[in-house]
Amino acid sequence: MAERGPLDGRVAIVTGAGRGIGRGEAIALATAGAKVVVNDVGVRADGHGAAEGPADEVVEFIRAQGGHAVASYESVADWEGATRVVDTAVEQFGRLDILVNNAGIVRQHKIEDVTEEDFELTIDVNLKGTFAMCRSAIPVLRQYGGGRIVNTCSNQWAAPIGNPEYAASKGGVVSLTYELAWELNTDGITVNAIAPFALTRMTEDAKQRDAALVASGAMSERRLKAKEARADAGMVAPIVVYLASDAAADVTGCVFRAGGGKIGIYSHPVETRTIFRDEQNGPWSYDELVDLLPRTVLATGSKAPHIL
């Protein structure tokens, strides 16, 4: 690890840091000089099971490189567990400066196949877990003069492909990011989100789709290998290091698309077309809307951009 880096002296928490994207983020933050709490309950991609090994392995790797890290096995979906993760950072390293909410699970369903257990577990980990970690970390960040929060959403919030409970949970993370950026704007705490893409345990369906395309001749082996190279989970981490640093002190309330050498930014949802009516004239009539909406508000299209 570098003796002096952009995050030297900082303390970071990365949830879901035992594998994949979170692992890359934890290692990158440590390489940049941060002391890292590597949080991972060790579940499978669908949210079941538990193991201490994934978090321990990342801690051992960081320490072997000369960095500082400790493991946390708490579930972020547990309200009190989230507080214990934050307490670990303060007890082990004396402060907290950076929170990266990466922990998440995914299940693939059409809406009629989603069970109540599917829905509740996905919301608990992806949305409640992010909320609980922010709730516990923000007072501590304030105590130490400010900090950085980086949440993890998904392009399936912007372009869903068939897992509605997952898309709902990640859409909630986006809304939470926007709200907290506004709420904490005068506290020296920035709040941003990334929508990462990479080949991990959570994208096994993408691997299967690509394999089918190669088998059918619709995708060449060469293109598949190039795509896999661009989808290295470690390529998501640089934007997280940037957002955690002083260089991004004025960057807040933004959602980035990151991975495979690409960094993009989503636009904030705003009204693009509006019609007004004098309140004295009462509500719009059905016939008025049938006449006006296609010529005004819906003039550029009546479907979301990702619907062909």
Is 166 annotated as catalytic?
A: yes
- Catalytic pick among 73, 144, 166, 266: 166
How big is the CA angle at 189 (ends 186 and 191), to the nearest 5 degrees?
115
Where would I find the H helices in 99-249? 116-123, 129-143, 155-158, 164-183, 204-216, 221-230, 237-244
- 285 burial via Cβ count (<10 Å: 0-12, 13-18, 19+): exposed
In the block, tokens 């980086």 appear at 150
Cα-based distances in Å from 290 to 273, 285, 287: 16, 9, 5
Question: Encoding tokens for residue 172?
Answer: 């909630």
Distances (CA, A) of 293 to 182, 271, 280, 282, 305: 32, 14, 20, 17, 18
Contact 27, 51 (CB under 8 A): no
The neighbour count for residue 94, using CB atoms within 10 Å, is: 10
Alpha carbons 20 and 224: distance in angstroms, whole number = 20
- C-alpha dist (Å) from residue 81 to 17, 41, 55, 136, 148: 16, 11, 16, 10, 21
Which residues are annotated as catalytic?
A: 166
